[in-house]
Homo-oligomer: A and B are copies of this chain.
Amino acid sequence: MNLKQLSTMLQLSQTTVSRALNGYPEVNEETRRRVMEAAKRHGYRPNPSARRLATGKAGMIGYVMPTGAAVDIDPHFVEFLSGLGDYARGHELDLVLSPADAQDEETTYRRIVANKQVDALYISAPRAADSRIALAHQLGVQFIVHGRSEGLDFDYPYIDIDNEGAFHDATRLLVQLGHKRIALINGDDTQTFAIFRERGVRRALLESGLALDLRHIRSEVMIEENGYRAARSLLEASDAPTAIVCSSLIMALGVVRAARDLNLSLPGDLSLVSHDDVFPWLKPEHFSVPLTTTRSSIRAAGARVAERLAARISGLEDGARGEVWPVDLVVRGSIAGAR
């Protein structure tokens, strides 16, 4: 069933039917009702390719997905995706994933924009002065960044969580508990979220006259193994920290394992705070010692990104508003006063 068939069936022109369906004002309400009703009854659905060709709009949002043998998509992505899906589902928005060589994402960005395959895209895991953001900005495509970059000479729309504040607060709490040697096991420090987190820790320590010892910082891809290694090397050193702040629950698994291997008990010998992105399949309250966390749902962020993207597409939103979400600090058994 296409427009033509529907319109001859209704004894109307394609123009009128199209307008009736798309809510244009120059059509009689009674006619519109008839058209709407007939469309529904016959299950008419406009062909998206045709519409796309005519309007230049795609009705999809895009994501350039870095891939490659050396690239692991991390599990945060799937949670974010769930969130996107939650919103998109109700709005018949589809999501196009364009896999790109991690070494050369630019080509793919240019391709999908030139092809008008998507109306808007989102950019995740930004780095300092992120070139993808600059590119999207320059290409004039609608986009939203999940996270923030730094050192770009223009504003852009983003949503981010208050990484600095979260890690500041967590660290301050540890300091208040009497800890002096506090270590940070961070994610890949080319990513801005990691930079902000380090900044938060540093600021909290500074406020108490302490300083973040460079030897007490580790930055690695957030996998269990790296959490273990980092913790191990920190805890075996002579000036071992009495508290660790950790950027991910998955790394925290490694930290707990390291502590156990070294016969250190939580929170007696070591206090641990981790950031929690709220994975349904791994919860901080179900660690052998329930973990104190800074918590922010990455899934909720996904839904919000989709919502704003949709708003931008339909022209309800513009400008470069940044949105920063506060982060909960949830205290559980993994922290205690320093001995």
Residues of A within 8 A of B (CB): 45, 47-50, 52-53, 58, 60, 65, 67-69, 71-75, 77-79, 81-82, 84-86, 88-89, 92-101, 111, 114-117, 222-225, 228, 250, 253-254, 257, 260-261, 279-283, 286-288
Q: Could you say which of B73, B99, B223, B287 contacts A89, with CB atoms under 8 Å apart? A: B99
* CA–CA, A221 and B69, complex, Å: 30
How far does the Cβ of A46 sit from chain B's closest Cβ, in whole Å? 9
Q: Could you jot down 20 A-B contacts, CB within 8 Å? A: A47-B53, A49-B49, A49-B115, A52-B52, A67-B85, A68-B89, A71-B82, A73-B79, A78-B81, A81-B97, A85-B97, A88-B99, A89-B100, A89-B101, A94-B99, A223-B280, A224-B286, A225-B283, A228-B286, A257-B287
Taking a contact as CB atoms closer than 8 A, the residue among B93, B223, B286, B287 that contacts A282 in the complex is B223
Q: How far is the CA of A53 from the CA of B115 in the complex (A)?
A: 14
Contacts of A117 in B (CB 8 A): 48, 94
The complex places the Cα of A92 from the Cα of B65 at a distance, in Å, of 12
Check A48 against B115 for contact (C-beta < 8 Å).
yes
- CB pair A75–B72 under 8 Å, yes or no, is no
Give the Cβ gap from A331 to chain B, nearest Cβ, in Å. Answer: 20
Cβ contact of A280, chosen from B72, B89, B96, B280, cutoff 8 A: B72
**Cα-based distance from A280 to B192 in the complex (angstroms):** 22
Copies in the assembly, this chain = 2
8 Å CB contact of A78 from B78, B253, B282, B283: B78
Determine how close the nearest CB of chain B comes to the CB of A78; give it in whole angstroms. 4
Shortest CB–CB separation between residue A133 and chain B, in angstroms? 22
- B94:A97 contact, CB within 8 angstroms: yes
With contact pairs A72-B82, A99-B89 given, residues A257 and B223 touching in the complex (Cβ less than 8 Å): no
Output the residue of A47, A73, A77, A228 with the most chain B CB within 10 A.
A73
Contact of B60 with A96 in the complex, beta carbons under 8 Å: yes
Report A253 CB to chain B, min CB distance, Å: 7
The residue among A78, A79, A111, A260 with the most chain B CB atoms within 10 A of its own CB is A78
Which chain B residue has the least Cβ–Cβ distance from A102? B89
Query: Which residues of chain B are near A281, meaning CB under 8 Å?
Result: 72, 74-75, 222-224, 250
- Return the chain B residue nearest A254 by Cβ: B286
In the complex, the answer to whether A73 meets B85 with C-beta atoms within 8 Å is yes
Q: What chain B residues lie within 8 Å of A86 (beta carbons)?
A: 67-69, 99
Closest residue of B by beta carbon distance from A51: B49
A237 smallest CB distance to B (angstroms): 21
A96 engages B96 (CB within 8 Å): yes
Task: Give the nearest-CB partner of A299 in chain B.
Answer: B72
A233 → B minimal CB distance (Å): 15
- A261 to chain B: closest residue by CB: B288
Closest Cβ of chain B to A52, distance in Å, is 4
Identify which of B82, B96, B283 contacts A95 (C-beta below 8 A). Answer: B96
Query: Across the interface, which residues of B come within 8 angstroms of A82, CB to CB?
Result: 67, 71-73
| C-alpha spacing A283/B257, complex, angstroms | 13
